[in-house]
Amino acid sequence: MKSMIFNILQDLKSRTAKQTGLLYTSTIGSMVLSMIASILVTRSLGPERYGIYSFYISVVSFVGLFFRFGVFNSAGLLLVHTDNEKRIRKLIGTAFILGLVIGVVYSLFLTLSSWFIDEFFKTNVGSIIRYTSLLLIFFPLYYLITHLSRGTKRVEILALMRILSRVVYLVNIAIIIFFNVISVKAFSFAYGISMSISYIVSIFMLTPEFREIKLHGKEILRLTKRYGIHVYLGQIADQSTYKLDSLFITYFVGTTPLGFYNLAIALVSPMVAFSSAFTTTVFREFARKEKIPRKILFYNTLWLIAYTIGIILFGKWIIKLLFTERFLPTYSLASILVIAGFFQGMYQPFGIFFESKGFGKIIRNISYITALVNVLGNALLIPLYGAMGAAVASALSKFIHLVGYLYYYRSYGGIKI
């Protein structure tokens, strides 16, 4: 027992632990700030108008999943295998230009789609989307910065982006409340401008160099065809169907249950964030290893178990304290979504491992299966059980995703756990 404790203490002093601590602290700090923002916004708008605001966020997030095309993954993987500083800066600059091009197309698509969204979903977010259309150009940069920071192992940039975006957002919220100009449109604009500022600042802190763009652009696109496109297809199959629950909830039961559902997701998010931060810091190391170190799997599992127990025992108290009793329906959803989060956190190391190896087809195949399970689960359960059905479908799909990674990890190339 003493030996085990000693080993844990030694691991806590390692570089990986320090980087994980930095990234996770920033993630939790961001989530705390987001929670404060949610409290202010929910109390200002109330359940009905907050549901509309949540739907706006769901729409721009859902559509954003389709506007990556594997380009950002490919840029990140090139950086993992690059040690020359000048080449790194040129790759970052080229990736930024590609990201802006993708952002323009993303914004145009949302603007055109906004005319049909209100009629189909019986809501009124179309005008809000058009109002924030210019800011939406920068939204895809979030995914780009994540991959660039991970590929260069500069997690401090990723940490800064997460904190800065929330601080600016809170300042904007305070201004809205102080001048009593409270509306869904005002909060949506505040969200958009906060994200845009943080993304632009973070990109330039990575010190991009805008030279040989054509040369490196071709290099990124070549890898995209061989690797990135497969990851992209898997991501849109898996993640877009995972986000589809928000659209289904709105369509079948309305925006108010969607607000409860999104708050439940916010309560569960920190557990997956640790697994993500943990594996992000070792992305470059994974590219040079034949298997995942057992310590990473052990610490990741230990964290996930502890968080799951915490939500089940203290979830109601947390909701009452932060959101008032009007939002207590969130607890039953969080109790199921924390199980989904457990499975999602468990497969993070395996997903990062396969990404670092460039095994895009494996990621794609697993995602296809998960997407099918998720679509069927949402289609069958949400019409019957509303948001609770969506939570159950998410838990089931994440479990299948974990099983898929375990299968390939044990069998592909003779790799053993």
Q: Please give the model's pTM, rounded to 2 decimal places.
A: 0.78
DSSP string across 46-102: HHHHHHHHHHHHHHHHHHHTTS-TTHHHHHHHHHHT---HHHHHHHHHHHHHHHHHH
Q: pLDDT under 70 in the chain at which residues?
A: 1-17, 239-243, 412-417
How confident is the model at residue 9, as a pLDDT?
A: 45
Length of the chain: 417
pLDDT in tens, 200-212: 999 999 999 999 9
How confident is the model at residue 78, as a pLDDT?
A: 92
How confident is the model at residue 2, as a pLDDT?
A: 47
How confident is the model at residue 119, as a pLDDT?
A: 78
The two three-digit tokens of residue 289, written as one number: 């290893």
Please count the structural domains in the chain.
1
CB atoms within 10 A of CB 412: 12
How confident is the model at residue 4, as a pLDDT?
A: 46
How confident is the model at residue 22, as a pLDDT?
A: 80
How confident is the model at residue 412, as a pLDDT?
A: 65
pLDDT in tens, 291-340: 888 888 888 999 999 999 998 888 788 887 877 777 777 888 888 999 99
Residue type, 287: A
Domain of 377, in residue numbers: 2-414
